[in-house]
A and B are shown apart, each in its own frame.
Chain A
Amino acid sequence: MNDGGTSIGRTAATAERVLRQLRHDPRTVALLLLVPCVLLALLRGILGGGVAFQHAGPVLLAVFPFTTLFVVTSVATLRERTSGTLERLLALPLAKGELLGGYALAFSAVGLVQVLLAAALALGPLGLTTSLGAGALFGLAIADALLGMALGLLVSAFAASEFQAVQFLPAVVLPQVLLCGLFAPRATMATGLRWLSDALPLSYAVDALARPHGWDTTATVDLIVVVAAAAAALALAAATLRRRTS
């Protein structure tokens, strides 16, 4: 009977649906895209154009897509769970991979546009210099967006309300931001903190972005670590999508 759809078609349909939902919420879109720019400009004002800004600027380009997509995804997925649409989707011929793939596509696109705007502002008018090429910058932005999205999907399984989902931001995201090397170089951290920092995926994204001499093998390894962590979180999140309950 209904064999018209393909796996790619269902994944694309899901991505398009997520983006359409965002389109009907222009305020969220404006916040997603403009807040990073405003914060970068603010930071430039506070720090001036010197070494401190040159250090913190690229790090923020990693932190923004990670943080915002974590919040957006955890709330969006929680809504999907509580509104009954998830149960409905899982009763239909939609594979979990297609659902998660659709989310990943849509939110990567959001992360990319976000970083495109923020980077254009930072590298242009704000005078940030980076040894990384545009490709590396945007590749990392997508990886960070995916990481935030995957963790957001995962924690939404443990939140019973949108209040709880938002509380996971300080619990899951802030420790990573504190330990990623933004406030103190990772090399100077006490051993215990250093280990903790090594265990958190955002640290690798920041390491890759803050490479002083441009992209190298270490940066590639860092990028792979971020993508692998996102994939692991997605796999765990997939396990929380249950077709049958007891």
Chain B
Amino acid sequence: MLTAVRADVHIDQVMNFTILAENLGVRRGGRPVLDALNWQVAPGTVCGVIGPSGCGKTTLLRAVIGAQRFTGRLQVLDRPAGAADLRHRIGYVTQSASVYDDLTVAENLGYFARIVGAGPAELNRVLAAVGLAPLAAVLARRLSGGQRSRVSLAIALLGRPELLVLDEPTVGQDPVLRQELWALFTEMAAGGTTLLISSHVMDEAERCDTILLLREGRIVSSGRSPRQLCVETNTSTVEGAFLNLVGAAG
């Protein structure tokens, strides 16, 4: 299996993967949701978890943040997934915005900032990062869907976690904002943060450093950059590559 490495990632960092899965499995109701996954993510990279709805993306993300029981081995930031000390080091954004609808944007952030021990300066930084500073005093329930999910993202940015796990973060965002969010993700990766981002929108995969293609809980392809994927499958898009690989497998 190929492992794509960005040119600017130093070789000794490559030895310490931010995420390392060996024979990772999750069964639910007697059915495998994730089946014998072997997969790595290097520090300071953006890894896209791409696949159709129901392929196990959310389950994999929940295993990484420690909310999902699993079999096999899963190391996150050199600790077993779910270790208590990892809770300081991982930011997690669920698919639906996890915010208090009956609090303002600033009150939501203020509460979570006190939970993770981040100061007021940090609060302003994350508000600006997601472009919500003008809406700080607005109740979350009065926001649009896209704005609410940006509040949810801002909460995950508090305290600059080393690993950011985002479940479909760009759903419901307009194209301009999607562009801005991806610029933010790329900038964070350049600053050393590792990002694990799921999406069922294949064209978002083009912006990731490496891609994990999943289908029915199994790996279709992992560790390749979007370009490598396209070259190897002689296609021009990740969607084309996915269809090609699925066709080849079936």
A interface, size bucket: 20 to 34
Query: Distance in Å from the Cβ of B120 to the closest Cβ of chain A?
Result: 11
Partner of B94, one of A13, A87, A93: A87
Contact between B115 and A246, CB atoms less than 8 A apart: no
Contact between B68 and A87, CB atoms less than 8 A apart: no
Contact between B111 and A91, CB atoms less than 8 A apart: no
Contact between A92 and B115, CB atoms less than 8 A apart: yes
Query: Distance in Å from the Cβ of A124 to the closest Cβ of chain B?
Result: 34
Given contacts A243-B67, A245-B68, contact A21 B102 (CB under 8 A): yes
Q: Which residues of A contact B98 (CB under 8 A)?
A: 83-85, 87-88
Contact string against B for A residues 103-133, beta-carbon threshold 8 Å, 1 for contact and 0 otherwise? 0000000000000000000000000000000
Query: Distance in Å from the Cβ of B28 to the closest Cβ of chain A?
Result: 7
Beta-carbon contacts under 8 Å, A145-172 to B:
none
- B229 contacts the other chain (CB 8 A): no
- A50 contacts the other chain (CB 8 A): no
Contact between A243 and B66, CB atoms less than 8 A apart: yes
Distance between Cα atoms of A25 and B139 in the complex (Å) = 11
Beta-carbon contacts under 8 Å, B85-131 to A:
87-90, 92, 94, 96-104, 107, 111-112, 114-119
Beta-carbon contacts under 8 Å, B118-148 to A:
118-119, 139
Partner of A91, one of B66, B107, B160: B66
Query: Distance in Å from the Cβ of A240 to the closest Cβ of chain B?
Result: 15
Contact between B96 and A87, CB atoms less than 8 A apart: no
- B80 contacts the other chain (CB 8 A): no
Given contacts A5-B117, A17-B111, contact A246 B89 (CB under 8 A): no
- Which residue of A has the minimal Cβ distance to B118? A2
Q: Which residues of A contact B66 (CB under 8 A)?
A: 91, 243-244
Given contacts A20-B103, A24-B139, contact A91 B114 (CB under 8 A): no
Distance between Cα atoms of A93 and B90 in the complex (Å) = 10
Beta-carbon contacts under 8 Å, A52-86 to B:
83-85
Partner of A85, one of B84, B92, B99, B162: B99
- A89 contacts the other chain (CB 8 A): yes
Partner of B67, one of A2, A9, A24, A244: A244
Contact string against B for A residues 8-36, beta-carbon threshold 8 Å, 1 for contact and 0 otherwise? 01100110110011001100000000000
Partner of B102, one of A1, A2, A5, A24: A24
Distance between Cα atoms of A117 and B67 in the complex (Å) = 44
Contact between B100 and A21, CB atoms less than 8 A apart: yes
**19 A–B pairs (Cβ distance < 8 Å), ordered by A:** A1-B88, A2-B118, A4-B117, A5-B114, A13-B111, A13-B115, A14-B111, A20-B103, A83-B100, A84-B97, A85-B100, A88-B155, A90-B67, A91-B66, A91-B67, A92-B87, A93-B84, A93-B88, A244-B68
Chain B interfacial positions (CB closer than 8 Å to A): 28, 65-69, 82, 84, 87-90, 92, 94, 96-104, 107, 111-112, 114-119, 139, 155, 159-160, 162
